[in-house]
Amino acid sequence: MAGGLAGGIGTASVVLPDGTTVAALAVVNPVGSVLDPADGTLAGARYGLPGEFGRLHPPTPHEVKAWNPQKAPSFNTTIGVVATDRTLTKAQCGKLAAVAHDGLARAIRPAHTMTDGDTIFALATCATAAPAHDAFQDVLAAGADVFSRAIAHAVLAATGREGAPAYLDVFPSATGGDT
């Protein structure tokens, strides 16, 4: 579950201008909501690449007002991995995992509650050379963004069930009614 909606598994990636790939996989089951409280859109979708979430629109205010999620189970977690093809040190991988948690917090509110076991691992395949300092900053920024996007994709890919409806079942207007 994801704040009363069905949770799921999602992925996202980006190829940076210098050719570096950064990717994430998220298994989404948080206590917190994945919705933007202002308009009911998926919070992680705002970090999408051009056209990535282009079919999504804010749901109607009526649908948002009608949404009354069931109380989430008492123990939840979002787990995942963020990876790059760059060569990184152990400390740099630790930093990449830490900033991916920022991406989690952008896409889930509240994040890291006492009943969430949120964990993100980072890895580097070392297929390309170690990045220069400025390029590593770009890898970090991308790590947060791809993790936010992976959470949004997980919620969109989830199949609803009793007590945990799918996002597009609750908010069909988010795609103009075409799910």
Domain limits at 116?
A: 9-175
Token digits of residue 118: 């949120």
In angstroms, how far is CA 111 from the centroid of its own chain?
12
Give the residue from 88, 99, 85, 96 showing the smallest Cα distance to 20. 85
Q: Is residue 136 part of a domain?
A: yes
- Which class for 42: exposed (0-12), middle (13-18), buried (19 or more C-beta within 10 A)? buried
SS3 19: coil
What is the Cα–Cα distance from 12 to 85, expressed in whole angstroms? 14
Report which residue type is found at 58.
Answer: P
Q: Is residue 3 part of a domain?
A: no
Q: Is residue 95 part of a domain?
A: yes
The number of distinct structural domains making up the chain is 1
Convert the pLDDT of each residue in 9-62 to its tens digit.
999 999 999 999 999 999 999 999 999 989 999 999 999 999 999 999 999 999
pLDDT at position 70: 73
What is the Cα–Cα distance from 109 to 65, expressed in whole angstroms? 18
Token digits of residue 125: 């395949």
- Which class for 52: exposed (0-12), middle (13-18), buried (19 or more C-beta within 10 A)? middle
Q: Give start and end residues of each alpha helix (H) in the chain.
A: 61-66, 90-107, 133-157, 167-170
Q: Is residue 17 part of a domain?
A: yes
Convert the pLDDT of each residue in 49-108 to its tens digit.
999 999 999 999 999 999 988 776 667 899 999 999 999 999 999 999 999 999 999 999
CATH of the domain at 80: 3.60.70.12
Q: Is residue 69 part of a domain?
A: yes
User: What is the pTM (predicted TM-score) of this model?
Assistant: 0.94
Mean pLDDT, rounded, for 126-149: 95
